[in-house]
Amino acid sequence: MGRAWTCLVVVMLFSSCGIFVQQAGMKNFKPDERISARGLNDFQYDFVYLTALVEEGFPRLDSVFPKPLREMEKSRILAALDSTRSKADFVVLASSYLSRLKNQHSSIYLRYDLKSTYPYVVFISSGEWYIYTISTAYDSSAIGKRIIGINGLTPSEVEDRLIAFTFGENRINQQYALRSNQLYSNPHYLRQAGVISWATDTLSVSLEDGTELNLRPVLIKDEVPYYRLAEKSEPVTDYRKKTYSYSVYEDLNFGYLQFNACHDSIDILEGIGSYVKTWMQPMARAYVIRQFNKQKPSRRVAGYYNKEYPVFRDMLWEMVDSLNAAGIDHLIIDLRHNPGGNLTLGIQLMYFLTENDSLDDFQDFAFTSEIYKAYFVDEYRDLQRTYSDGLPDRALLQTNPGANLFTDVTDVNSKYFVPSDRPVFKGKVYVLSNYRTGSAAAMLTTLLQDNRMATVVGTSVGNNPTGATIYTPMKLPRTNARISLSTSYKVRPRKELGEVQIPDIWLEYTINDLLTGRDPFLDVVMREIEKNGRNGK
């Protein structure tokens, strides 16, 4: 069910082999219908090409981006691209089109030369904007102050305009996207959003104490010194540079699993088949295996698996044995740094947390487009066998009717097999998740919540539990921009809970939390643990 899309990135590394795989081995779909280049510049041509890919491959397109609106936006953007020679403007305008899909797996990336930026960084909490970092050319007392206006607009008005260039699926994720990509300080986005008229304009930022910051753009090439928020961290939950690791706190009666990426060595090798051309797959696998066998593998490969525990299942077995031996009653699963990967690893985790073999799964649907057919060959063939009278074209077809959630982990022939005599943790489970919890990690959060296996603390996750899904990478021909499109569809187990995942306890960091090093997520869980006592007493 899960799909290891980022294993492709792992294969494309800084060696002669890695670069060759990146340039020659990556699958790239091309529309059957020829696009006429007459009268189009390169940016216009690639935009038309992009819209053709969206029309072909995105499931339930009319429900999120109706055709009349698509045609109107296409005309608007083509007209705007007629006079531009800027990669930046192309990215901004193409982003505004893809943003209509409200889908994090449908995005565009093209490196461009950003010459200037406004010298400040914001932090967003509960819909309020705060100064997080600012150039030393301005007063350091602005740090931590709430913003009440930007060029005569309220922060919420600016936010609404900038969200139109993000790929976020819900409000909190859209806020994170504009914050992490610093759209609020990028002159190209601010100009397209109507916040400034020219890239050289002053940005007037009004603070709650009456201070007015008149920010002038600074050149990126200049080394501008900054005042920064003096942020501290909580030792228990501080970020660890490992894909996954655990700790047992016997005196506090809890275990802590920091699960930062749904990848391990098995997943990386298994995922090559989906995104690398068939003739290149042996070379890609050989390259990755060589990295695994090195004492110090490539930095980027090392970032996608834990050399201490190359197989996630092995670490889970050890962790649960340790928790049970110590009589621990509570387990905290921290997914706040996890952008996703392969959901099957998350299902392995669930298998160590329950003896119930009849849990509810997502309903998975393939969209039988030419793009899906080209990328997911085995899955498409399975559908052809199911529909022996002919596979309907461009239809949503369920790929897992009546499937058991644990099929992949209980099948002895599966690379993800977990023996039935595995240790099981039967205590209380808490999940810490937020807007950075994406893709497979977001789906894992939903599965644990919808099956009533955990209390979820945090914000809505980065990907909605019902909607288009599956990262499918492609490249535009003229600009070489990298894009991705969702090509499948999923429906959460408990449909009555809605398309957006809502945690059991909503919680966001505040500016004060960052200053004091307090983790409010951990604090909430610790209060629950203290209330429950040992063995629930």
Amino acid identity of residue 483, one-letter, is: I
pTM score, whole prediction: 0.89
Q: Is residue 403 within 8 Å of 490, Cβ to Cβ? A: no
Shortest CA distance to 476 belongs to which of 117, 81, 176?
A: 81
Q: Is residue 148 part of a domain?
A: yes
What are 192's strand-pairing partners? Answer: none
Q: Is residue 144 within 8 Å of 122, Cβ to Cβ? A: no
Q: Cα(21)–Cα(14) distance, rounded to whole angstroms?
A: 11
DSSP state of 101: G
- 452 to 320, 356, 362, 428: CA distances (angstroms): 20, 12, 14, 11
The pLDDT assigned to 271 comes to: 76
Burial class (CB in 10 A: 0-12, 13-18, 19+), 521: buried
Q: Is residue 225 within 8 Å of 135, Cβ to Cβ? A: yes
Shortest CA distance to 271 belongs to which of 133, 415, 172, 162?
A: 415
Task: Please give the structure tokens belonging to residue 109.
Answer: 């990336």
Q: Is residue 202 part of a domain?
A: yes
Q: Is residue 81 part of a domain?
A: no
Q: Cα(512)–Cα(523) distance, rounded to whole angstroms?
A: 14
Q: Cα(320)–Cα(426) distance, rounded to whole angstroms?
A: 10
Q: Cα(465)–Cα(493) distance, rounded to whole angstroms?
A: 9
Shortest CA distance to 25 belongs to which of 375, 278, 268?
A: 278
Amino acid identity of residue 230, one-letter, is: A
Q: SS3 of 180, please?
A: helix
Shortest CA distance to 366 belongs to which of 216, 483, 472, 246?
A: 472
**Average pLDDT of adjacent 10-residue blocks, the chain of 537 residues:** 40 34 64 83 96 97 98 97 92 98 96 94 97 97 97 98 97 96 97 96 98 96 92 95 96 97 91 76 85 81 86 98 98 97 96 95 96 93 92 94 90 96 98 96 98 98 95 94 96 96 98 96 96 69
Q: Is residue 166 part of a domain?
A: yes
Q: Which residues contact 324 (CB under 8 A, 6 or more apart)?
A: 423, 425
Q: Cα(283)–Cα(26) distance, rounded to whole angstroms?
A: 12
Counted domains in the chain:
1
What are 259's strand-pairing partners? Answer: 244
Q: Is residue 253 part of a domain?
A: no
Q: Which residues contact 313 (CB under 8 A, 6 or more apart)?
A: 264, 348, 416, 418
Segment holding 269, helix H or strand E: helix 265-275
Locate all alpha helices (DSSP H) within 112-230, ordered by sequence.
155-163, 171-180, 187-192
Q: Is residue 175 part of a domain?
A: yes
Q: Cα(488)–Cα(362) distance, rounded to whole angstroms?
A: 12
Sign of the dihedral through C-alpha 234, 262, 467, 492? negative
Q: Cα(320)–Cα(304) distance, rounded to whole angstroms?
A: 23
Locate all alpha helices (DSSP H) within 326-453, ordered by sequence.
343-351, 370-375, 377-386, 407-410, 439-450
CA 77 to the chain's CA centroid: 27
Segment holding 332, helix H or strand E: strand 330-334
Q: Is residue 477 part of a domain?
A: no
The domain of 200 spans 116-219
Task: State the CATH number of the domain containing residue 211.
Answer: 2.30.42
- Output the 3-class SS for 285-304: HHHHHHHHHCCCCCHHHHCC
Q: Is residue 460 part of a domain?
A: no
